[in-house]
Amino acid sequence: MPKSGRRKHMEAVVLYPLDWLEERSGLVGGIKYFLFRKVPGDTGWAQTLGSATLTAFLVQAITGVILAMFYKPDPDHAYSSIQHITNDVTFGWLVRGMHRWGASVFIILLFFHMARVFLYGAYKYPRELNWIVGVFLLILGMFEGFTGYLLPYDQTAYWATVVGMNITGNGPFVGTVLAQIMQGGPAIGSDSLSRFYSLHMLVAPGAIFALIGLHLYLVVRLGVTSPPWSKEAAGTGPIGTQPSENGSRAGLTRAWRRSK
């Protein structure tokens, strides 16, 4: 069916800025490649856990930015500012609830994603580096949870942090120094709160964002692993399902095996 003049006009309005950006940066092509790249035919729901973890992290980042607009990192005002967010700010209860519950969702999804990678053997050659990047993401994810726990500055927050700092301080080699740096003084107080806040909303999320970038670059570069029971990966699937036949990217593991 021929396109109407109005539709052509609308298309031009949408495509012009995209073409402009593509010509100057190649970004549109890059994003298109990322979203529409070929993956093995037997990729399943378990392989969406990484994206689910990413979504949970983005929700934390967005709700965290909103909370930071109202939160006051000072022992005299921290608790009351959280009460203010929950009781007075429009939808504050929702944003705070999403951030608090979302923290657990993020950690749970992180572990599910890691279990999937482990059970599929996706940490093996050539994806060892991505597993190592993942280990740093896991440590930073839990560090986010620990540093965020002090921020409401109520009894639970305070004493949980005392326990956490004692555990850190007893760690081998770097334990004592690490605990001193984080605590910022002989006892948990206003200096600790500022440090925890800075680590929680700047240092850790910044590092997580950077590592996620590297993680996803490696996922795209190396291709997604097929499940261990995959006939396609073993080369015994029905005709038309082999990577060479359906045009999907073989992935380095299979290319390497074939060359052996």
Using CB under 6 A, list all residues that contact ligand HEM. 47, 49-51, 53-54, 57, 110, 113-114, 117, 122-123, 127, 130-131, 134-135, 137-138, 141, 208, 212, 215, 219, 224-225
Q: Is 189 helix (H, G, I), strand (E, B) or coil?
A: coil
Q: Would you say 21 or 129 has its CB closer to ligand HEM?
A: 129
Minimal distance, residue 138 CB to ligand HEM, in Å: 4
Q: Would you say 51 or 198 has its CB closer to ligand HEM?
A: 51
Minimal distance, residue 113 CB to ligand HEM, in Å: 5
Answer for the pair 60, 106: CB distance below 8 angstroms, yes or no: yes
Minimal distance, residue 32 CB to ligand HEM, in Å: 17
Q: Would you say 115 or 181 has its CB closer to ligand HEM?
A: 115
Q: Would you say 73 or 134 has its CB closer to ligand HEM?
A: 134
Distance CA 163, CA 199 (A): 18
Minimal distance, residue 22 CB to ligand HEM, in Å: 24
Answer for the pair 114, 138: CB distance below 8 angstroms, yes or no: yes
Q: Tell me the CA distances in angstroms from 226 to 47, 201, 230, one per residue in order.
A: 9, 36, 6
Q: Would you say 188 or 219 has its CB closer to ligand HEM?
A: 219
Long-range contacts of 48-54 (CB under 8 A, 24+ apart): 49/109, 49/112, 49/113, 49/116, 50/113, 50/219, 52/109, 52/113, 53/106, 53/109, 53/110, 53/113, 54/212
Minimal distance, residue 35 CB to ligand HEM, in Å: 12
CA-nearest of 55, 209, 211, 60 to 135 is: 211
Query: Tokens 């081998």, residue?
Result: 172
Minimal distance, residue 116 CB to ligand HEM, in Å: 7
List all residues 6 or more positions away from 114 whose beta carbon is below 8 Å from its beta carbon.
134, 138
Minimal distance, residue 222 CB to ligand HEM, in Å: 6
Q: Would you say 26 or 121 has its CB closer to ligand HEM?
A: 121
Q: Would you say 53 or 192 has its CB closer to ligand HEM?
A: 53
Distance CA 156, CA 159 (A): 6
List all residues 6 or more positions away from 39 whose beta carbon is below 8 Å from its beta carbon.
47, 223, 224, 248, 249
Instruction: Give residue number: closest CB to ligand HEM.
Output: 134
